[in-house]
């Protein structure tokens, strides 16, 4: 079946098997390998992307279900806020092995678009679907808070 999906601002028209997962489509068909597949069961969140601005686990969405929708992945270089989140994760050591990082960052982008100044409880609640076996989450929470500061500081600057 033919799907038309906008990914990171670019239109793609591809022939896919009806059972193809969005995660597989992104990685194999589009060669955007930043979206990780960790469990195929919605448990880990490493495959989180934004679909029409909402965080979704791409291992549980079919590419056919994404037909006509807009997808954002970790590779989206056009989003200034995403860049600030990535920088903050590096500065605050919000990653170790890096496997969960794309999902954490995409969940953070969704979170910060919906709450400009999240507190710890809000962050923890939103990260509940993302697992990290390395960091202990403190540095991830600090990364998100730093990103929030960067994003908000940038938006209030007067020329």
Using the 3D structure, point to which of 11, 37, 72 is the last residue of a domain.
Answer: 72
Structural domain span for residue 22: 2-72
Q: What is the pLDDT of residue 69?
A: 99
Q: What is the pLDDT of residue 57?
A: 97
For residue 33, which of 94, 83, 75 has the smallest C-alpha distance?
75
pLDDT tens digits along 134-143: 888 999 999 9
pTM: 0.93
Asked if the model's pLDDT at residue 157 lies above 70, the reply is: no
Using the 3D structure, point to which of 15, 39, 72 is the last residue of a domain.
Answer: 72
The sheet with strand 2-7 has its strands ordered as 10-15, 2-7, 70-72, 48-51, 54-57
Residue 49: which H helix or E strand, with range?
strand 48-51
Q: With bands split at pLDDT 50, 70 and 90, how would you rate the model's confidence at 100?
A: very high
* Radius of gyration for the chain, computed over Cα atoms and rounded to the nearest angstrom: 16
pLDDT tens digits along 15-47: 999 999 999 999 999 999 999 999 878 899 999
Domain containing residue 43: CATH number: 3.10.20.30
């Amino acid at each position: 079946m033919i799907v038309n999906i906008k990914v990171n601002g670019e239109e793609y028209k591809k022939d896919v098997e009806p059972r193809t997962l969005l995660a597989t489509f992104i990685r194999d068909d589009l060669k955007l390998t930043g979206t990780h597949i960790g469990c195929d069961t919605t448990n880990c969140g490493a495959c989180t992307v934004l679909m029409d601005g909402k965080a979704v686990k791409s291992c549980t969405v079919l590419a056919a279900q994404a037909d006509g929708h807009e997808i954002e992945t970790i590779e989206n270089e056009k989003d200034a806020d995403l860049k600030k989140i990535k920088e903050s994760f590096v500065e605050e050591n919000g990653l170790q092995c890096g496997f969960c990082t794309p999902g954490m960052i995409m969940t953070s982008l969704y979170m910060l678009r919906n709450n400009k100044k999240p507190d710890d409880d809000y962050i923890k609640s939103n990260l509940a679907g993302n697992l990290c076996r390395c960091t202990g989450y403190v540095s991830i929470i600090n990364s998100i808070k730093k990103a929030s500061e960067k994003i908000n500081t940038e938006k209030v600057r007067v020329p």
